[in-house]
Structure 1
């Protein structure tokens, strides 16, 4: 039996789909499995020996995406069953172009429920099963540090509204640098804000830090976050990496709904939010132009929680 699984594009969403994928692979144990998704999300599965093949979907970069999706479907051929954890128009096209006996697309639900449960409920409805959503799952081993280590993650790929301010991250790092070595995380497009934090650390004579922004592969990012003693992060993909490994996490939420995307089953998560009337707005940038959901959160708020 040949099974194709299309996974979510974003790193965090792909991680939140792993309980459902674990149930799917348990249901079709022994199947020949192909994973399709963005380069970033497919990297989560490179160590999974149950996966036969990984196909990276680059159709978004194509000048004629419709044709590109068709070509991708012809490349991913001869499957008995296809299931997609995406709901986009092009994802639906991909599955229609496939020559499969059965195929199913995830549909977004306009209800307040954790994203993990939305993916798992979709799977149960598809398979007519009652599988429980277990822990998140990644198959990477922590890269242990020699000293207690604090990680800070000032970025969030979805948009600027989700980002707490670099100067506040820097204040926390400076205050805790006597107890912890500092790791600054970030993607290739987040090196500038990481550099701003690094500059502030240098100006305050902090030298026990490492700026990893734009310098890690996805597997390296996972291995390093997995070994942290404390992680301070925006609502982001790396936040969900920390959830997998039950890292002590301070998760800063502004415009997004922590009821839907907070860390799944991590008892060591602390959510920081100001609970404003205008949030969660779910916008990439602040529609009211004041960004108070993040501006009103201070380094003192975070330090008080850590000191507790």
Structure 2
């Protein structure tokens, strides 16, 4: 039994641990109990792992009662909240974030999830994150792109300008507008916006200023969005679900970081992935182990994100092949 109640990005970080469970326990019945965003990540997994969705806290309690009837041998918590509920699964063995010594974790979240697996003596095979796109999802994405064929004479760059949780992790929309305008002016790329319904307002503002962008915001499921990203040469995004979705399917990425520490939240070793991080005096302020509800302190302004310059991002975009190692562009200074 695995419990995962996380946003999309953190859930994707748990996919190597889920793969390791199946690798170590090929004959076991494995069930993931998850919130809706985690279900969207796991539902098409190829490992014959059942996924149970929890609609709310009352549904969670009902499912925990049912789980206890099945006498599972092991419960692993792959999120902060999921770790709290492992103790209610009625299993003789459990492992979770809470049981790992220390209140702060300095490594990546991928490593933390794998440490949960290693704590119970299971081997860890690889660190690579995963996401699984179905043929139907890819066909729907390709049909959408076929509708805008006249705009696809250039290779695609995807941009995610929003983020469902923690608005202070977002680069200003005005900066995205300036970046997109420069991409059209200076490169051979066509720009496509991606994101969920919560990103519609930002996407509409960008579209009103630069009407030639392709807007796929709020129109597709998570799997269909991944299918769109499959057709892109590059993804530029804040530290958010779509950034980690793109990396999981192998799309080159440029991640924009401020409140969060890329050493924890950008675990990608492949040279295709780069990030920009302005470590000013108060960053990173996000505390992953700080509690299940409030991770970011109050802040009147996202100074760390506003410190990222359009030209810095554009320099990485110009490097079409993205050949080097993960690049840290860091400026230390006060507000």
Q: TM-score range by the shorter chain?
A: 0.7 to 0.9
Tell me the residue number matched to 1:10: 7
Note the 1:123-202 alignment, pairs <5 A.
Answer: 123-126=117-120, 128-140=121-133, 147-177=154-184, 179-202=188-211
Runs (5+) with no aligned partner, structure 1: none
Q: Can you list the C-alpha shifts for 1:19-42, whole angstroms capped at 9, x where unaligned?
A: 111111111102222221111211
Instruction: Give the SS at the match of 1:183.
Output: strand
| 1:266–1:240 distance in 2 versus 1, CA, 3 Å | farther
State which drifts further: 279-288 or 225-234: 279-288
8 Å contact kept, 1:40–1:218: no
Cα-Cα RMSD: 2.3
Deviates more, 1:36-45 or 1:252-261: 36-45
1:22 paired with 2:19, answer yes
The answer for the alignment partner of 2:312 in structure 1 is 301
Q: Distance in 2 between matches of 1:110 and 1:57?
A: 28
Deviations 1:2-56 (A, max 9, x none): xx22124211111111111111111110222222111121122222242342211
Q: Contact conserved, 2:157 with 2:234, CA < 8 A, in 1?
A: yes
Cα distance between partner residues in 2 of 1:97 and 1:289: 39
Count of paired positions = 291
Provide the secondary structure at the position in 1 that maps to 2:191. strand
Distance 2:275 2:88 in 1: 43
- Residues 201-280 of structure 1 aligned to structure 2 (within 5 Å): 201-202=210-211, 207=212, 209-280=213-284
Distance in 2, matches of 1:134 and 1:200, equals: 41
- Residue of structure 1 equivalent to 2:63: 72
Provide the TM-score with structure 2 as the length reference: 0.79
